[in-house]
Chains A and B, each alone.
Chain A
Amino acid sequence: MSGGARVLLLLGLALLLAGCGGDDETPGGAADLPGPVPAGTTFKDPPPGALSAPPFAAELLDGTRVRGADLWRERPLVLVFTASWCDRCADVHAEAARAVDEHGDAIGLLGIVAEDDREPALGYAEELDLGHPVAVAAERVWLNYAAREPPVVVLVARGGKVLRGWSGGVGASTLSRRLAELLAPEPR
């Protein structure tokens, strides 16, 4: 093999490998976690007597470990209990993402699938391409949130109080209105 051909071959291999890697870009992985809460954003306190959200730890689709408490420490968090095989869930998940995206990084969104759905969920996240993380959570997490059947949407206030759950999902406009109510007006 000539020197030129060898260089071309190595270059081709390098390009091929670069295209096949990209673990950072796993849909629903750590790269989809929200950035810092926008400066000046403040949140209303949850109503007194609201129940604490059950703590949980889970693994994102790229293997990154996350804890609920870390995700709701600085901002409200919308949880969407979903499944790869459920067409209705994909619609509900996309609606939730639309509502959350209206508020930029002020609100977090975490999709949650069951443990036996880990592999198919990669395709689900890729197809939906929502730009929000998706976690694989143990059965007890589903049960702790009374998520008996997907889709279930749960709204958690900043600091970890459960504000509302919607079994069967919720439309983007309703959710967006609830999210707007959590934001405190900017001081004059």
Chain B
Amino acid sequence: MTAAARCVVVAVLLVAGGCGGGGGDTRETHIRLVVADKNIRREGVECAGARPFQHVHADARYRIVAGDGGIVAEGTLPAGHAENAEPEIDWGVERIPTFCVVDFEVDLPQHPRYRLRLDRGRPLEFSAPPRASDEPIVLVVG
């Protein structure tokens, strides 16, 4: 192979790498879905949304829609875990008022705005996280 041909091959590989390769312009984003149900649970226990938020549970389908209406991510939720709803209060007992928090990661292409849709409940709107931020996107159900 001549040097010129080798250059062409390298250029083609570089272009192909930029076009494919794990979604190019997508970004792994941590979403923290907080069900503000204040249900009484042991802290840390596996949970789902308490009524009337029972549609937030393990295996429930979600879709993330970009501002233009296209679906940019979809999947099923993992189980949540119970977190103290009022951490400033020392309840002094095992079972306390909690929120059910569902953490999951999605690959999001760059868009200014998104909506998280579950099979029930109103869509939850959020903006693209700042480039430098590692903070999760916190969405509150309730």
Interface check A24, CB cutoff 8 A: no
A168 to B40, CA, bound (A): 9
Cβ of B54 and Cβ of A114 under 8 Å apart? yes
* Count of residues in B whose CB is under 8 Å from the partner chain: 20
Further 13 A-B residue pairs, CB within 8 A, beyond A148-B51, A149-B37: A85-B60, A86-B46, A86-B58, A87-B46, A87-B79, A148-B39, A148-B50, A149-B41, A149-B47, A149-B50, A149-B51, A167-B40, A168-B41
Q: Which residue of B lies closest to A114 (CB)?
A: B54
Cβ of B46 and Cβ of A143 under 8 Å apart? no
Cβ of A142 and Cβ of B60 under 8 Å apart? no
Interface check A78, CB cutoff 8 A: no
19 interchain pairs, CB-CB under 8 A: A83-B57, A85-B57, A86-B46, A86-B48, A86-B58, A86-B79, A87-B79, A88-B46, A143-B51, A148-B37, A148-B39, A148-B51, A148-B54, A149-B41, A149-B47, A149-B49, A149-B100, A150-B48, A168-B41
Q: Residues of A with Cβ closer than 8 Å to B? A: 83, 85-88, 114, 139, 142-143, 147-150, 167-168
Interface check B27, CB cutoff 8 A: no
Q: Residues of B with Cβ closer than 8 Å to A? A: 37, 39-42, 45-51, 54, 57-60, 79, 95, 100
A179 CB, min distance to chain B CBs, angstroms: 23
Q: Which residue of A lies closest to B46 (CB)?
A: A88
B57 CB contacts on chain A under 8 angstroms:
83, 85-86
A40 to B60, CA, bound (A): 48
Give 9 nearest A-B pairs by CB, closest first.
A148-B50, A149-B50, A85-B59, A148-B51, A85-B58, A88-B46, A85-B57, A149-B39, A149-B48
B45 CB, min distance to chain A CBs, angstroms: 7
Residue among A114, A147, A148, A167 with most chain B CB within 10 A: A148
A87 to B42, CA, bound (A): 16
A148 to B79, CA, bound (A): 16
Known: A85-B60, A87-B79. A168 touches B50 (CB 8 A): no
